[in-house]
Structure 1
Amino acid sequence: MSAPSTEQVHEQHPQREEVDGREAADLLDVVVRELGGQRREGQERMAQAVTDAVRARRHLLVQAGTGTGKSVAYLVPAVAHAVHRGSRAVVTTATIALQAQVVDRDLPRLARALAPALGREPTWELLKGRANYLCRNKLDGGFPEEEAALFDVAAPAGDTGAGDAGRLGREVVRLREWAGTTRTGDRDELDPGVSDRAWRQVSVSARECLGAQRCPVADACFSERVRARAREVDVVVTNHAMTAIDALEGSGQLLPEHDLLVVDEAHELADRLTAVATAELSAGVVGAAARRLRRSAGLVSDALEDAGAALEAALEDAAPGRLERRPAALSDAVAAVRDAARTALTDLRTATEGAAKEEDAEARGSRHLARAAVQEVFAVAERLAADSEHDVAWVSAAGPGGRAPSLHVAPLSVAGLLRERLFTDRTVVATSATLTLGGSFEPVARSFGLRSATRDEAPWTGVDVGSPFDYARQGILYVARHLPPPGRAGLPDAVLDELAALLEAAGGRTLGLFSSRRAAEEAAAGVRERTGRTVLCQGDDRLPRLVRRFADEAATSLFGTMSLWQGVDVPGPSCQLVVIDRIPFPRPDDPLMAARARAVDAAGGNGFLSVSAAHAAVRLAQGAGRLVRATGDRGVVAVLDPRLATARYGGFLRESLPGFWATTSPETARQALARLDAAASAPGG
């Protein structure tokens, strides 16, 4: 598979008056000087590419390696565009860490630096989901309490309390006290925090919210105030989940009107939209809606309860996995749930219309909660009953803790949704350190709907601005070709021996990335036994605390699963070895991924490469990217899966990785690690 040029330019729209390249370069220089930084070629190229894309109203895909300074590179032209045009730019990120960096660090300093050149200081707002804010109506009794008499419980003087009930009561009392002083109502500003269970007593989800038109205290609503401010600022910062919900519900439902959307960590966008568009139906959910209907609205729906029981029986008899041919009993049960929920909604509407006008706020809130619960059941059941060729449905097996089997439905592809809901009526800049697969932007462009066999292509450009790091000199990619291919029976002794030898040569200093929690725990135990070294494992403590200890203690290693593949940024000698146990393909029994691969095959493509290998390539690149986080970093990425060197698809995966110097020699890898350990351990090292 030949790698195309890193710049793939498609048909452009006519230019309009905008920030030009010279002005963007000058503004970037101003910001870099203000931040005390140095000019970076990749950052300058990226800022220029964003400027050109905005001027041409052409979508842009930018791969920018770690250390490029990509947030400043896109913020400078985005802010200048918003100020000059009197329009608005939205920046969406996948992780809380990057969102905080943009809002708390980058934008304040950038705004101060640009104010003289732009004529005023740019403005911004952080926009979160409703459940992140206190609900005034719920605090005032506008909704039924989730726990009996919780708000009437005061912690007795001197009570240090034992047991969940006492702790929950004290947390809720503290929340009510905080509600009287907070200016934002934002949960993240509460320090120390409270449990999720306590927070639910004072917040509502988007589904439960009455809405600004019906809420009696809408004028004092924290969430509505943030949304109002977001309609007035130059830049709105949000997350992929909010962006996905806005796309599904229709533009303007959550995000304010904007003509420029910057998607950072864009490799996560399609998966986040898939997650938001995935729905679940179970007997428990149906039963909860029926109970809510009875308790909150005084309506008894025998039909809904009976349909829930039928669904439970049908799910118990159904085989787990994708529903290519649905059992008649399951189809009938889903249809019964749909019909019963529709009837319950009609009955609820009639009861609401006949309610007395002087009815109190809690009664109105109770009926709203009942309506929301039943409406959700109806919507999912109706979608499942439609059995659309554009959806994939499957049954999940019963799980630990008494979890019952349930039905799931997800879109076969989100490319069309992205194309129609995000990549229309605005310019989109999508950026990530891992945006090319196998050296090409084409796979990501297709996942965004920018490639279509039946419609004109949306204009887009792909640019790889490189990285300030010299990967070939700073890192080694070691593939353990001599090891056995990974299996399902756990980690063999040969793999544990290899891992222990590498970690010993590195003097600890190892981040282990594993495909499952079981594998991480097995590896941690095996290495501790073989070396006697300290190996932290995900689950031993809260993850931020584990990462801090790993960074502070050079001889300590940290093993874990997917949370570590993207979320760890530890420059310096504490992380000189990154170990990946196996190529992170999706599970072979994942019904959605299997259905997507089959659809690609049916269309004449290669489903394995387009779905499974593409998924693995992004995860592998993210994991390998944990090694080099600064210009002085040195180390080894060790992949203990020989298929990366021996399989036909290995070349595609290696093309997606940073350009490390490659070897299959275990001696070479261990010797390099030993030298690095000696240098780091030396006085002044």
Structure 2
Amino acid sequence: MPDDLLDSADKTDLPDVSALLAAAVSGVGGAERPGQVKMAEAVAHAIGSGEHLAVQAGTGTGKSLAYLVPAVRHAVDAGPAGEGHSCVVVSTATIALQRQLIDRDLPRLSDSLTPLLGREPAFAILKGRRNYLCRHRLQTDAPEDPEEILFDAQAVSAAGRQVQRIHEWAETTETGDRDELVPGVSEQAWRSVSVSARECLGAQRCPFGTECFAERARDEAGEADIVVTNHALLAIDALEDFQVLPDHDVAIIDEAHELVDRVTSVATAELSAQAVEITARRCGRLIEDDLADRLKEAGEALQPMLAEMHAGRMDVLPEAVGFSLVSIRDAAYACATALRTNLKGSEDDAERLGAGRAALTSLEEIHDTAVRFLEAFKGDLASRHDVVWLDKPFSEDSRRPTALKVAPLGVGALLRERLFRQRTTVLTSATLSLGGSFEPLARQWGLPPLDAPDEKDVLETDSDKADKQPIKWSGLDVGSPFDHARSGILYIARGLPTPGRDGLPEAYLTELSELIGAAGGRTLGLFSSMRAAKQAAEELRGRFSQPLLCQGEDSTSQLVKRFAEDDATCLFGTLSLWQGVDVPGPSLRLVVIDRIPFPRPDDPLSSARQRAIGARGGNGFMAVAATNAALLLAQGAGRLLRSMTDRGVVAILDPRLATARYGSFLRASLPPFWTTYDSETVKGALRRLDTSD
């Protein structure tokens, strides 16, 4: 039989997804879970039909195997790795999940499935070029970095020690991956030994091209069936005109609840007087002095203007700032033009070429960002696509400069055209259904309504959508193996006062202290601001005997470790703890949330999005503020049950969850705990749990 017919016959003989999943679960010593089976079958159907899928899978479902098994089967069915077939890209939001997939899930899955698939599936991890050590930058040293003028001697010295540690690590690392350098180093230190895609000389020109860590990672990804990456690189692949990720016909987005924020972050740009000055100094030795001085002076002229302005969203561009942006744009263009001319003939001088590419990248970023700011104010408010605001540091001694920032009003149009119309996409998370529906997040992703079309709450619409095939997608909630109603209590403190802006009321502190006392410590306090977390920590220390840790007193990872190791310890903190804590067992019996985590009323991006939706006749508050709050509440409440034996209470001190009109939407977004408004019932339950432990 000819080889091509043999290959075809092998493909059709692959076991179905249910058989492969059973083998995978057995291989890891697990037990079959109905939700996992249902999810795997749905993912396989989506891949086969081309219909996009949003699937919510609660903690403990085993969703990683549920999407990896059909993904591996599809990739193997497409043909041998590295022979031109499309791979499957798996995108995550966190380093922890990337490492879990690469170090644990995929190796074990490969061992279990290879005998059934007929070959060993290949997998790789791929990140942005900045995440890899650059051997050329390491050997030639970074171009003289004018950023050091902004830092004091102690900071520069600390960065120097970190760079030295990077040099020592470079002698042993096999991947050059920044995440393998533990403990980590500052952004300033790392940037001195890494390059962006635009700064890179290219493998052919670089004297270290054959040893390049980033190129090696790209080559491995090109040979893989499954490529694990992050939302940021996925966004860059969609935003840029050049290809970043290998060819892929399926994208699986885990931690999809963070997709919009991560894509928005990648699409956000900023401009400060310091950045312009640094860029002018960086190209100063490579072009004529008068051109570099012109750019430097343009940046200096911007500084006093920004200093006099109030922080916050800008709906109108001040005329003087507009003139300054034009000057910066034109000066950056002139410098870049001269630099390109001066770099001609430098192909054999890698050091000069490297410095030139770094300077040119900075110039192009300054120019393009200035252009974007000027374009952002054209037309009336309803027709604009970007939001501009002035960001100022909270204190005068902050190293963060005053900067103009610009971000897209929404990323749905981008995702719709560059992701959903290009390849089959599966979006999954433990939290996707808000208020009992997938549509609040689907709107933000750019997916059309499932039922009666109503795009009032969508920030962008397709001007030519009538000429395109409709995007088909479905939503599926496979539930959770946890019995929430028997394992957890949701306590809403309906009797407390409505939270204000002047810190935590005394009634909140008293309630919190009594709840912690009843639980015997074992409390994760999730606060809407660091100010509130610190206030609670300072005022409650001394009211009970249990140890109390507060975010900011040590690295977050060390605080979580100490919290998990001592049953009596409490941990207070803000945003990263709402989504980043996984502490099963008796160390966590009580999760307290101080208030509904609505965006700040003066948040530039959130307020602009609400206004834009309202202008279209939609409900901006529900589509933006309430949706974001529901997502965070669900994530925070999800910290309680992390294993089948966990028990405890989620206490929300904000009475608006019970009394406000939007409360039903928020409550419907939470896990189905047994709910009570009675404080004494909850404290009694916590005391019984404490005694049983």
Give your verdict on TM over 0.5: yes
Asked whether 1:536 is paired with 2:534, we answer no
CA root-mean-square deviation: 2.2
- Identity over the aligned pairs, expressed in percent? 57
Asked whether 1:369 is paired with 2:365, we answer no
SS of residue in 2 equivalent to 1:307:
helix
Contact 1:579-1:640 at 8 Å conserved across structures: yes
Whole-angstrom distance in 2 between the partners of 1:545 and 1:525: 20
Contact 2:287-2:338 at 8 Å conserved across structures: no
Of residues 37, 40, 49 in structure 2, which corresponds to 1:56?
49
Asked whether 1:241 is paired with 2:232, we answer yes
Whole-angstrom distance in 2 between the partners of 1:317 and 1:165: 30
Contact 2:527-2:533 at 8 Å conserved across structures: yes
Greater CA deviation, 413-422 or 205-214? 205-214
Greater CA deviation, 451-460 or 339-348? 451-460
Aligned to 1:419: 416
Aligned to 1:293: 283
Aligned to 1:105: 104
Offset, 1:567: 0.7
Greater CA deviation, 473-482 or 206-215? 206-215
Contact 1:25-1:48 at 8 Å conserved across structures: yes
Aligned to 2:3: none
Contact 1:91-1:262 at 8 Å conserved across structures: yes
Whole-angstrom distance in 2 between the partners of 1:147 and 1:326: 30
Contact 1:20-1:51 at 8 Å conserved across structures: no
Instruction: Give runs of aligned pairs for residues 19-418 of structure 1, distance below 5 A.
Output: 23-86=16-79, 87-141=86-140, 143-146=142-145, 169=160, 171-191=162-182, 193-250=184-241, 253-297=243-287, 299-301=289-291, 302-353=293-344, 355=345, 360-387=349-376, 389-400=384-395, 401-402=397-398, 403-418=400-415
Greater CA deviation, 21-30 or 596-605? 21-30
Q: Deviations over 1:172-226 (max 9, x none)?
A: 4443344344322223334555554443332223343223354333222110111
* TM-score, length basis structure 2: 0.90
Aligned to 1:438: 435
Q: Deviations over 1:111-170 (max 9, x none)?
A: 010001110111100112222222121123175254999xxxxxxxxxxxx976766555
Whole-angstrom distance in 2 between the partners of 1:554 and 1:141: 51
Instruction: Give runs of aligned pairs for residues 507-586 of structure 1, distance below 5 A.
Output: 507-586=520-599
Aligned to 1:5: none
SS of residue in 2 equivalent to 1:73:
helix
Gaps of 5+ in 1: 1-16, 150-161, 681-685
Contact 1:318-1:327 at 8 Å conserved across structures: no
Mark the CA change 1:672 to 1:51 in structure 2 (over 3 Å): closer, same or farther: same
Instruction: Give runs of aligned pairs for residues 593-672 of structure 1, distance below 5 A.
Output: 593-672=606-685
Contact 1:21-1:51 at 8 Å conserved across structures: no
Q: Deviations over 1:70-89 (max 9, x none)?
A: 00000000010000013310
Contact 1:259-1:426 at 8 Å conserved across structures: yes
Mark the CA change 1:20 to 1:203 in structure 2 (over 3 Å): closer, same or farther: same
Whole-angstrom distance in 2 between the partners of 1:148 and 1:100: 33
Mark the CA change 1:357 to 1:85 in structure 2 (over 3 Å): closer, same or farther: closer
Q: In the alignment, residue 632 of structure 1 is paired with which amino acid?
A: T
SS of residue in 2 equivalent to 1:439:
coil
Whole-angstrom distance in 2 between the partners of 1:669 and 1:296: 69
Contact 1:299-1:348 at 8 Å conserved across structures: no
Whole-angstrom distance in 1 between the partners of 2:69 and 2:569: 40
SS of residue in 2 equivalent to 1:468:
coil
Offset, 1:306: 2.4
Mark the CA change 1:442 to 1:168 in structure 2 (over 3 Å): closer, same or farther: closer
Q: Deviations over 1:529-584 (max 9, x none)?
A: 22232111111111111111111111111110111101101111111100000000
Whole-angstrom distance in 1 between the partners of 2:279 and 2:518: 58
Whole-angstrom distance in 2 between the partners of 1:592 and 1:191: 34
Q: Deviations over 1:325-384 (max 9, x none)?
A: 22111111111111111111112122223x5666x3221211111111111100100111
Q: In the alignment, residue 225 of structure 1 is paired with which amino acid?
A: R
Whole-angstrom distance in 1 between the partners of 2:213 and 2:666: 47
Whole-angstrom distance in 1 between the partners of 2:427 and 2:12: 19
Whole-angstrom distance in 1 between the partners of 2:675 and 2:147: 62
Whole-angstrom distance in 2 between the partners of 1:399 and 1:191: 30
Offset, 1:591: 1.0
Contact 2:492-2:657 at 8 Å conserved across structures: yes
Asked whether 1:475 is paired with 2:504, we answer no
SS of residue in 2 equivalent to 1:140:
helix
Gaps of 5+ in 2: 1-9, 80-85, 379-383, 449-454, 456-460
